[in-house]
Chain A
Amino acid sequence: MSMKKNKIIRLTISYLIILLMCVVVIYPLLWVIGSSFNPGQSLSGASMFPKNPTTAHYTYLFDSEKSNYISWYMNSLKISIITMISTVILVSFTAYSFSRYRFIGRKNGLLTFLVLQMIPNFAALIAIFVLANRTGLIDTHLGLILIYVGGQIPMNTWLMKGYLDTIPKELDESAKMDGASHMRIFVQIIMPLAKPIIAVVALFAFIAPFGDFILARIMLRSNEKFTMGVGLYEMVAKQFGKEFTTFAAGSVLIAIPIAILFLCFQKYFVSGLTAGGTKG
């Protein structure tokens, strides 16, 4: 009898804590959704469930004459996709070489990657700023993409190399016996087997530019070239509170697709990050 009572108490407390946490998690999200439907620009007097909801802020954002929101969206998408494709290609190359070949400089190369992956690349933000000015890459998407891709290489190379190491070497050796060229072994034998890790690397490389703020903020100057992060920040920072409801609408529009994408691939994220951490 007392065991049953214990169980009821334990479960009740658990549910109460979970309920509290759910409220803490969901409240800010509901609040921003509510704000985005509030009439007027500022939030004073606004409520979470407005009596006379309006979609005016959403239509404002989609009006390309008044707001650059659509360009920010497209910029972010473009930068993320190009970063993803370039990262996957370059990382496959480097990871494959490090995994399958023993060449002079391999050890030092791996060590360099290991150290570099620990330095967040915005730590050198002064240099990035000055260099971008010098090379004329400031305020261009090309410059930003190059920095993103370069920053992605070290960590993802280690991640993918760890996976490629688990693919038996006998496979490429027998293919070599049959006269397959280096490139052919790489493209037709190893890459198809590495699909799961390619998916993980692609996902990381796609989501990182989306979540980045600092590099984009340093590199991009003109409003129509902004990414989502910089654009939304400018919107609230310029005259705080004045445009908050519009900002809220913008946040909702970016958060929902990313969150859905994320929830679908969440398993890969966890496995990728864990593999990256424990396997190096």
Chain B
Amino acid sequence: MDVTIPATKHGRNAALLSIIPGFGQFYNKQFVKGFIFLTLTIAFFASFLDTLNWGFWGLFTLGTIAGLDHSIFLLIDGIIALIITVIGLAIYVFNMYDAYSTGKKRDLGLATSSVKEQYHNLLDSGFPYLMVSPGFLLLIFVVIFPVLFVILLSFTNYDLYHSPPAKLVDWVGIQNYIEIFKLDLWRKTFFGVLGWTLVWTFVATTLQVALGIFLAILVNQKDLKGKAIIRTVFILPWAVPAFVSILIFSGMFNESFGVINTGILHAFGIDPVPWMTEENWTRLALIFIQTWLGFPFIFAMTTGVLQSIPDELYEAANVDGATIWQKFTKITLPMILFATAPILITQYTFNFNNFNVIFLFNGGGPAIPGQNAGGSDILISWIYSLTMTSAQYGKAAAITMLLSIVVVTVALWQFKRSKSFKEEDMN
């Protein structure tokens, strides 16, 4: 087919007419389709106009009369209005695109599809949307919606003293963020908690990874007997539900009746240790517990990798007269790290947000004078207690935002490097 500049401009005209949905399709003589778009638009405005009006009013003002307007409900309605608007806009853009592409076809002198063909087209191209939509809708309401809510909440003063229905909540801009960094109490607590979160993430994760890899190599020695039973035993901490193990440990470390103080340390003649009331002892115990909980997964995974390393590599190394240490640093370790690097990173992000172990062991405690977080609180458990016990919703939301920025940055960086992301054709 010759490439000629089309004499007609149906594409442009149709798209322009589509400013009122359906008219572009009428212009292209696709009356059924145009009618559907037009009806959809009218129905959209008829049914949502009030919701949108009310929603956006609420979103901007957060209510005007204390005791009557419930600011948080208004905020929720506002987000719903926002989501409906986005969906509406998406359909609107699709309508324009559809009119434009059909018009383009006419410009090029191609036949436009008949009603029957359109029906089949709709069935073909609509099928993936049909299948994705239930999952996506659920995702909007249980994941995207809460995320939007937290983002917006972090710019409000919602706390115990501004708590509906008796009081109104107001937009305060970035006040929460400023206060976290400026007010002494908040700044001290925030950096204290952040510091421990980072130390905790790094030390606990590195220990569990190192122990897992070390044990996997140890058990994988050819002349070692009883591999199957040893491997089963080492998997056990992973097999038992974590919350059960953590609660068991909090009993074992209990200062008055726990077996660690009354049994083990006693047998060695060591005085009881204040595991639950002295900040640093709690932290030490937590790191031990997380290592116990976390190494089996690394162990199992590394075992899998080790079994896939071909024997020839080691035989060749033997011929060249390599020592055990050389074989380890030049063959075994690189193979393991290469195969498991992405997983290792997820282990770090997991521990960064490892709420269960912190909360179930000692509730984030012991309490520390001069700050409003416990001695072993990490960011996520601090957010929990700000929300559930001291009703500092606005501040908690702001801290959640700061935390999410860290997690998402690390995770995006990791996925950009991962193989599948590069291979995936994203078109």
Q: B203 at interface (Cβ–Cβ under 8 A)?
A: no
Give every chain B residue within 8 A of A177 (Cβ-Cβ): none
Q: B234 at interface (Cβ–Cβ under 8 A)?
A: yes
Q: Are B233 and A274 in contact (CB under 8 A)?
A: no
With A97-B131, A124-B400, A266-B300 in contact, is A247–B247 under 8 Å at CB?
A: yes
| Proximity bits, B360-385, A CB within 8 Å = 1, else 0 | 10000000000000000000100110
Of all chain B residues, the one with the shortest Cβ separation from A42 is: B257
CA A277 – CA B339 in complex, angstroms?
10
With A150-B139, A150-B141 in contact, is A233–B360 under 8 Å at CB?
A: yes
Of all chain A residues, the one with the shortest Cβ separation from B345 is: A277
Q: A213 at interface (Cβ–Cβ under 8 A)?
A: yes
| Proximity bits, B411-427, A CB within 8 Å = 1, else 0 | 11001001111001011
- The smallest beta-carbon distance between B422 and chain A, in angstroms, is 10
| Proximity bits, B134-152, A CB within 8 Å = 1, else 0 | 1110110111111101100
| Interface stretch (choices A21-29, A49-57, A60-68, A193-201) | A21-29
Q: A123 at interface (Cβ–Cβ under 8 A)?
A: yes
Q: B407 at interface (Cβ–Cβ under 8 A)?
A: yes
CA A166 – CA B14 in complex, angstroms?
42
Of all chain A residues, the one with the shortest Cβ separation from B356 is: A213
- The smallest beta-carbon distance between A174 and chain B, in angstroms, is 17
With A211-B242, A273-B301 in contact, is A120–B397 under 8 Å at CB?
A: no
Give A108-147 interface residues, CB cut-off 8 Å to B: 109-111, 114-116, 118-131, 134, 146-147
- The smallest beta-carbon distance between A88 and chain B, in angstroms, is 11
Q: A14 at interface (Cβ–Cβ under 8 A)?
A: yes
Identify which of B135, B146, B221, B396 gathers the most chain A CB atoms within 10 Å of its CB: B135
Q: A7 at interface (Cβ–Cβ under 8 A)?
A: yes
- The smallest beta-carbon distance between A239 and chain B, in angstroms, is 13
CA A251 – CA B247 in complex, angstroms?
9
With A116-B143, A213-B243, A258-B240 in contact, is A241–B234 under 8 Å at CB?
A: no
Q: B304 at interface (Cβ–Cβ under 8 A)?
A: yes
Give every chain B residue within 8 A of A90 (Cβ-Cβ): 134-135, 138
Give every chain B residue within 8 A of A274 (Cβ-Cβ): 301, 304, 339-340, 343
| Proximity bits, A1-44, B CB within 8 Å = 1, else 0 | 00000010011001101100110111011011001000000111
CA A274 – CA B297 in complex, angstroms?
10
Q: B244 at interface (Cβ–Cβ under 8 A)?
A: yes
| Proximity bits, B233-271, A CB within 8 Å = 1, else 0 | 111111111111101111110101111000000000000
CA A255 – CA B215 in complex, angstroms?
24
Q: A25-B233, A116-B139, A280-B421 are in contact. List 19 more A-B contacts (CB 8 A).
A: A18-B215, A29-B248, A48-B259, A90-B134, A90-B135, A116-B144, A118-B407, A120-B380, A134-B76, A147-B142, A162-B420, A182-B124, A213-B359, A233-B247, A241-B256, A247-B247, A255-B241, A271-B304, A279-B420
B residues with a Cβ closer than 8 A to A are 72-73, 76, 94, 97, 123-125, 127-129, 131-132, 134-136, 138-139, 141-147, 149-150, 153, 215, 218-219, 221, 223-224, 230, 232-245, 247-252, 254, 256-259, 292, 297, 300-301, 304, 339-340, 342-343, 346, 349, 353, 355-356, 359-360, 380, 383-384, 387-388, 393, 396-397, 400, 403-404, 407-408, 411-412, 415, 418-421, 424, 426-427
Show 12 A/B contacts (Cβ-Cβ < 8 Å), sorted by A: A93-B131, A97-B128, A119-B408, A129-B387, A150-B138, A151-B143, A241-B257, A255-B240, A259-B240, A278-B343, A279-B420, A280-B420
A residues with a Cβ closer than 8 A to B are 7, 10-11, 14-15, 17-18, 21-22, 24-26, 28-29, 31-32, 35, 42-44, 46, 48, 90-91, 93-94, 96-98, 100-104, 106-107, 109-111, 114-116, 118-131, 134, 146-147, 149-151, 153-154, 157, 162, 182, 186, 210-211, 213-214, 218, 228-229, 232-233, 236, 240-241, 244, 247-248, 251, 254-255, 258-259, 262-263, 266, 269-271, 273-274, 277-280
